Structure 1
């Protein structure tokens, strides 16, 4: 088990995270560039060695009802991998294909058979999939939208 200081060292090695000291000596780390309402990546890291990392958008980790993974027994490598995956899960890649958009709207272009394309766009707390100007579908999570695109034979466009 890593010490509190060792866990802090791992978390502080991610420049995209901001440290926030909270009550009783605990520390949180926020990801301000999150594409979602969730900004806490590390939550209540405690001097006794306990703490949590957000894994609510990850499928390979056991989480509590708030989507957090207990990291008490994690090694440095395990912790680093989980934090990187957590950050990636909260990052929404913007397409380089410009579209009239307002602040906070994320979009991603997917290409498929016969050079068809779909636009996956997050707005108003939903993921919308457009084929041209036509709305194909809407989903509550990015994973559902991603699964739909993949099932239809589409893949993320390379920027």
Structure 2
């Protein structure tokens, strides 16, 4: 198990986070650029090594009803991954915000949380979605293509 100091040193490598002391020598780390009211990424990091990372409803985590996953027994790589996922989660645009944006003119990369990318391109009055050089789907409107990509977990890069 990582010590409090080791966890703090790992968390401090994320320049997007701001430490704020709370009661009983615990520390919260906030992501001030969050697109949501929720800004706490690391919650109640305690000198005994216990603490939580907010992961919301991200797949791959066993979070509690508040979207927090316990990091008491987390390895360095698990802690880094959870924090990075939390920051991405809090900085992604909501589906409504993405849908309200203007259509792209030519082409645009879309990425999911696993790092996979798709290309959305406007060609001959169609909106085509490509995986590499392979055509995956074609749509008659930007809105249809956008809705498909959002449903598949992709966001504009």
Pick the TM interval, shorter chain.
Answer: 0.5 to 0.7
Describe the SS at the equivalent of 1:9: helix
Give the alignment's TM-score, normalised by structure 1. Answer: 0.65
Corresponding residue SS for 1:41 = strand
Cα offset for 1:59?
A: 1.2
Deviation string, structure 1 residues 56-83 (Cα, Å, up to 9, x no partner): 1311100111110000000111100110
User: What's the C-alpha RMSD, in Å, of the aligned pairs?
Assistant: 2.9
Cα deviation for residue 146 of structure 1 reads: 2.3
State how many pairs are aligned. Answer: 120
Q: What's the offset of the Cα at 1:115?
A: 6.2
Asked if residue 116 in structure 1 is aligned to residue 113 in structure 2, the reply is no
Between structure 1 and structure 2, the one with the greater Rg is: 2
**Where in structure 1 do 4 or more consecutive aligned residues deviate above 6 Å?**
none
In 2, are the aligned partners of 1:56 and 1:68 still within 8 Å (CA)? yes
Q: If the length of structure 2 is used for normalisation, what is the TM-score?
A: 0.66
Superposed displacement of residue 36, structure 1: 1.2
Aligned to 2:84: 84
The CA deviation at 1:157 is 4.8
Q: Measured at CA, do residues 62 and 24 of structure 1 come closer, stay the same or move farther in structure 2, by a change above 3 Å?
A: same
Which residue number in structure 1 is paired with residue 41 of structure 2? 41
Give the alignment of 1:90-129 within 5 angstroms: 90-93=90-93, 106-107=97-98, 111=120, 112=127, 113-114=138-139, 116-118=141-143
Question: 1:27 matched to which residue of 2?
Answer: 27
- 5+ long unaligned stretches in structure 2: 104-109, 111-119, 121-126, 128-137
